[in-house]
Structure 1
Amino acid sequence: MDVHDIEAFLATRPKGRKRRLTVLRQFFRFARSQHIVLVDPTRTLTAKMPSGFRGRTLTLDQQRVLFRRWTTDQHVHPHEALMGMLALPHGASSVEIRMLRIDDVNSATQTVRLGKRTPPVPFDPASWTVLERCLAHRDAWPTTNPHMMVTKGTTAGRSPASTAYLSPVLDDCGYAPRMIRSTRLVDLVNTMDPKLVAAAFGMDAQGVPTYLADRVDPDRLQTLPKIDRATPNGT
């Protein structure tokens, strides 16, 4: 057993890393004093979590399945489709989606104001079609509520849909909103300047580096140009 085995064990329960590492150190101190092991593999480890994004994200195939589901399947509820498309291509948070109002939508330019983002976000044709479907669903309700997502409980008032309503909206697709949004942010932060991503998404610049991955996707490496290292300039 070496330090890599210990690190893999600790990674199974990140929240318990400090406590588990303490117990492991006690064990290996005892084992070494009894000459059961020669080297303590926990010696160089720290209780602090390794840097880099460690959450779950969607594969490209999973993203394609979801994109087709939300843009072509008419049996999918309009609220699920809109929330999914706002989270995946546009990286919208649940708060941005929940607070989205009708007057945030500009039909002439096909742009949408999302949260603190400036300028308004331009929508691609697929996202705009999903948004129009949600608008049509909303128009079926006799309401003056200014928000995009209207529920039975909010038709008579002006408050946004509750957090409790939005939480299970994506349950049928099988993935949590955080996972879907993280997929977009991880991709952008690791291919662009994090400061630009923070500005574009109206996020705190201090929070964006959280999405920096601690590894490189092998599929992405295959797309990089190969350099001939026979000469200093690769020519």
Structure 2
Amino acid sequence: MLRQFFRFARSHKVVLVDPTRGLQVKGPSGFIGTTVAVGRQRQLFRRWTTGTDAHPHEALLGVLALLHAASSSEVRHLRVDDLDPVNRTVRLGKRPHPMPLDPASWSVLQRCLAHRENQRTDNPHVIVTKITKSGRAAASTAYISHILDPCGVPPRTLRCTRLADLVNTLDPKLVAAAFGMDPEATMIYLADRIDPGRLPDA
């Protein structure tokens, strides 16, 4: 707005020099993405854990993104040998430690493995499609990006929702260490305001 005013003023010879020329506007440094409201998170959680409408692939990607901030790439490349049934942990992407799964997440994973078993495939990945069941490649990026279309929430939005919650509840450095992220990458999720629901009653 200020630039527009001074351009107008200079063109009409009200001022001789445009003081805004050469200035660069720095964009917001904090997180400005979309997150999912708590009520909607509960609806999605029920859809994927107790509902019967969701495909096993949708439920797995949804739950891992919503509860464990898993990226589409981490779920896409998840292999059967990344699972530890004894300790109920999984290795995701470049995370430094195996990630323990809660009972709901483990149950969703078992449903996805049962679906994989029915395909009679030697593909080592957990998510196997009709195209990849005869080979050993991971599911395509396009397939993974559309898995959550039925629920209308992209995987990235779910992941960002979880990261924003963790970073604002815990120490960002601890979150970065646990997820194998650069510490600066988690800092953008720090909110510049406090959710009134987190404040103690007066």
TM-score (norm 2): 0.88
Distance in 2, matches of 1:72 and 1:123, equals 17
Deviations along 1:61-103, whole A, 9 cap, x unmatched?
A: 0110000000011221000000000001000011110110001
Asked if residue 113 in structure 1 is aligned to residue 65 in structure 2, the reply is: no
Aligned residues: 192
Shift of 1:116: 1.5
Q: Secondary structure at the match of 1:81?
A: helix
Q: Secondary structure at the match of 1:89?
A: helix
| Mapping 1:103-142, distance limit 5 Å | 103-142=81-120
Which residue of structure 2 lines up, in the alignment, with residue 192 of structure 1?
170
Q: Which AA in structure 1 matches 2:176?
A: A
Asked if residue 29 in structure 1 is aligned to residue 18 in structure 2, the reply is: no
Asked if residue 91 in structure 1 is aligned to residue 69 in structure 2, the reply is: yes
Shift of 1:164: 0.8
Distance in 1, matches of 2:25 and 2:82, equals 45
Structure 2 unpaired stretches of 5+: 13-19
| Mapping 1:146-165, distance limit 5 Å | 146-165=124-143
Q: Secondary structure at the match of 1:211?
A: coil
| CA distance 1:51–1:214, change in 2 (3 Å) | farther
Shift of 1:206: 2.4
Contact persistence 2:47–2:53 (CA under 8 A): no
Asked if residue 70 in structure 1 is aligned to residue 48 in structure 2, the reply is: yes
Q: Which AA in structure 2 matches 1:184?
A: R
Contact persistence 1:53–1:214 (CA under 8 A): no
Contact persistence 1:189–1:197 (CA under 8 A): yes
Structure 1 unpaired stretches of 5+: 1-23, 35-41, 227-235
TM-score (norm 1): 0.77
| CA distance 1:98–1:146, change in 2 (3 Å) | same
Q: Which AA in structure 2 matches 1:29?
A: F
Report which stretch shifted further, 203-212 or 188-197. Answer: 203-212
Identical-residue share of aligned pairs (%): 59
Which residue of structure 2 lines up, in the alignment, with residue 51 of structure 1?
29
Contact persistence 1:51–1:214 (CA under 8 A): no
Distance in 1, matches of 2:69 and 2:134, equals 30
Distance in 1, matches of 2:55 and 2:107, equals 14
- Relative contact order higher in (CA < 8 Å, ≥ 6 apart): 2
Q: CA RMSD in A?
A: 1.9
**Aligned counterpart for 2:58 among listed residues 65, 80, 86:** 80
Distance in 2, matches of 1:157 and 1:91, equals 28
Q: Secondary structure at the match of 1:143?
A: coil
Distance in 2, matches of 1:167 and 1:30, equals 44
Q: Which AA in structure 2 matches 1:193?
A: D
Q: Which AA in structure 2 matches 1:136?
A: A
